Amino acid sequence: MNRQAQAAVLFLLGASLLHAATTDLYLRYVKQGLRPLVLLSGAVLIAAAVATVWYERKRARGRGRGRKHDDEPGDGPGHAHHEPRVSWLLVLPLFALILVAPPALGSYSATRAGTALQEPLAYPALPSADPLRLGVVDYAGRAVYDHGRTLQGRRVQLTGFLALDRDGTPYLVRMALNCCAADAQPVKVALAGRIPPVLQPDTWLRITGTYSPRRAKDPVNGGPIPFIEVTEAKPVAAPKDPYDESWNG
Domain with residue 205: its CATH number is 2.40.50.140
Q: Tell me how far apart the alpha carbons of residues 179 and 245 are, in angstroms, rounded to a whole number.
A: 9
pTM for the whole structure: 0.67
pLDDT at residue 249 is higher than 50: no
Residues 216 and 118 in one domain: yes
127 and 233 inside one domain: yes
At residue 145, what is the residue type? Y
Residues 111, 95 within the same domain: no
Q: What 3-state DSSP class applies to 186?
A: strand
Contact 121, 193 (CB under 8 A): no
In-domain check, residue 249: no
Q: Report CA-CA distances (Å) from 4 to 18, 53, 60, 154.
A: 21, 6, 12, 63
pLDDT in tens, 106-144: 888 899 989 999 898 889 999 999 999 999 999 999 999
Residue 162 belongs to domain spanning: 107-244
CA distances for 209 relative to 46, 52, 59, 159, 191, angstroms: 50, 59, 70, 11, 9
Count the domains in the chain.
2
Q: Is residue 21 part of a domain?
A: yes
Residues 6+ apart with CB under 8 A from 145: 119, 120
Task: Answer yes or no: is 200 within a domain.
Answer: yes
Task: Report the half-sphere exposure of 217 (CA within 13 A, side-chain side).
Answer: 4
Same domain flag for 85 and 9? yes
Given a cut of 50, whether residue 78 has pLDDT beyond it is no
Confidence of residue 102 (pLDDT cuts 50, 70, 90): low
Dihedral sign, Cα of residue 133, residue 136, residue 138, residue 139: positive
